[in-house]
Structure 1
Amino acid sequence: MTATPAPSPARPPHLRPQLIGLVMLGGAAGTAVRNAIENAFAASGDHLLPWATFGINISGAFLLGLLSELLALIISNEQRRRVLQLTFGTGVLGGYTTYSTFALETVRLGETNHPIAAAGYAVGSVVLGFVAAYLAMLGTRRMVGIAERGQR
């Protein structure tokens, strides 16, 4: 009598070439959008505060909150939800938002004798990012609830 081999466990997402490719494509798309916004803002004049990065990161936090909540509420298939989260959350929004530019701009503000602006920019970005994500999650939950009640 031969023993039946145990099924091999699924490969983790970070080892699946298709998912890595989706994250890369999403990241390239998000980075391209961010670059276009930064270039448009750079052409609009000289600003003390880096408003383009600020707006990008706050809107990215909002979109990530919306996406995460929406996927959790309407996509029951875990594998499909993971693919969408990796593609759009990790990929597109990961490429769109930019922590490294935020950190560099904060340091530059401090180095150019604007320590209060640097502190305000740093704290404001983090706090408003959390608020934006939270409000997006609440709003998404509410809208999905309204849509579900309307279908009954």
Structure 2
Amino acid sequence: MTVLLIALGAAIGAPMRYLTDRFVQSRHDSVFPWGTLTVNVLGSLLLGLLAGLPANAPLTALLGTGFCGALTTYSTFSYETLRLAQTGARFYAAMNVLASVVAGLGAAAVGLLLAQAFS
């Protein structure tokens, strides 16, 4: 049953990642990967929130592993950062790393704090 919940969450998270990425990126005329940054920060916020709630194992499998796992993307973050560096946009590459780490950790902390405040 757990594997099915993970698959269901991923089936929703992956298309949401694609659609959100395209929506956000289409509104920026920049080589900076705003779409990937957005999905990773949103996923970090949701996972922080989930971590702070008294969630049961099935809900954690569905939302944490499945949905957040498919919504967020470390591989695309890595690829886009390397691509920026290789094309000479080293400043954007460095800012992508810095922004992703700081905003991702910050969003997870905010999610955790929100969950604790409402629990």
Evaluate the alpha carbon distance shift between residue 135 and residue 45 of structure 1 in structure 2; reply closer, same or farther with a 3 A threshold. closer
Tell me if 1:20 matches 2:20. Answer: no
Q: Report the CA distance between 1:43 and its aligned residue.
A: 3.6
The alignment's C-alpha RMSD in Å is: 1.4
The partner residue of 2:32 within 22, 39, 49 is: 49
- Unmatched 5+ residue regions in structure 1? 1-17, 76-80, 145-152
The equivalences for 1:3-152 within 5 A come to 18-44=1-27, 46-71=29-54, 75=55, 81-144=56-119
Shift of 1:133: 0.5
Query: TM-score w.r.t. structure 2 length?
Result: 0.92
Query: Aligned partners of 1:141, 1:104: CA distance in 2, in Å?
Result: 35
Unaligned runs of 5+ in 2: none
Kindly state the Cα deviation for residue 59 of structure 1 after the two structures are TM-superposed: 1.0
* Count, aligned residues: 119
Flag the structure with larger Rg: 1
Residue 122 of structure 1 aligns with an amino acid whose one-letter code is V
Distance 1:39 1:124, change over 3 A: closer
Which structure carries more relative contact order (alpha carbon 8 Å, separation 6+)?
2
Distance 1:141 1:56 in 2: 23
Q: TM-score, normalised by structure 1?
A: 0.73
Deviation at 1:135, TM superposition (A): 1.4
